[in-house]
Amino acid sequence: MAMTERLGVLIMYFALVSHVGAVRKVMPVAVPDIFKNKNVAHDKLLPGEKIYNVRSFGAIPDGKSDCTEAFMNAWRATCDSTEQARLLVPEGRFLLSSMFFAGPCSTPEPVTIQVVGTIVAPTDLSEYVDSEWLLFEDMDGIKLLGGGTFDGVGMESWLTASNCVDIPFGTCIRNPASIYFHRIKNGIIQNIKSINPKGFHIFVTNCANIRLRRLKLTAPNESPNTDGIHISHSIGVRVAKNTIETGDDCISIIHGSHQVSVYNVNCGPGHGISIGSLGKYEEELEVKGIRVRNVSMVGTQNGLRIKTWPDLFPGHASDIIFSDITMQNVRNPIVIDQEYQCSSNCEASLVQIKNVIFSNIKGTTATPIAVNLRCSNKFPCESIQLENIDLSLSLKSKPSGSRCANIKPIYKGMQNPQGCL
Ligand X SMILES: *[C@@H]1O[C@H](CO)[C@@H](O)[C@H](O)[C@H]1NC(C)=O
Residues with catalytic roles: 271
Give the whole-angstrom CA distance, residue 32 versus residue 207: 13
- By CB under 6 A, tell whether 261 contacts ligand X: no
Cis preceding-peptide flag for 220 (omega within 30 of 0): no
Min dist. Cβ of residue 243 to ligand X (A): 8
Residue (of 180, 237, 179, 181) closest to 209 by Cα position = 237
Residue 21, Cβ density class (10 Å: 0-12 exposed, 13-18 middle, ≥19 buried): exposed
Q: Which is nearer to ligand X, 246 or 277 (CB)?
A: 246
Instruction: Report if residue 359 touches ligand X, rule: CB under 6 A.
Output: no
Q: How far is the CB of 328 from ligand X (least distance, A)?
A: 13
Distance between CA atoms of residues 319 and 30, nearest Å: 18
* Residue whose CB is less far from ligand X, 97 or 266: 266
∠ at Cα 222 (364, 245), nearest 5°? 60
Q: Does 341 bind ligand X (CB under 6 A)?
A: no
Out of 84, 264, 394, 416, the residue judged to bind ligand X by CB under 6 A: 264
Task: Give dist(CA 116, CA 108) in Å, integer.
Answer: 23
* Amino acid at position 108, single letter: P
Which one, 294 or 406, has the nearer CB to ligand X?
294
Quick check: 385 binds ligand X (CB under 6 A)? Answer: no
Which CB sits closer to ligand X, 296 or 328? Answer: 296
- # chain residues binding ligand X, by CB under 6 A: 4
Asked if residue 384 lies in contact with residue 407, where contact means CB atoms within 8 angstroms, the answer is: yes
Q: How far out from the chain centre does Cα 384 lie? A: 24
Binding-site member from 97, 98, 221, 266 for ligand X (CB under 6 A): 266
Q: Which of 68, 162, 294, 355 binds ligand X (CB under 6 A)?
A: 294
> Is 68 among the residues that bind ligand X (CB under 6 A)?
no
Q: Which is nearer to ligand X, 296 or 383 (CB)?
A: 296
The whole-angstrom separation of Cα 371 and Cα 126 is 44
| Contact set with ligand X (CB under 6 A) | 264, 266, 294, 296
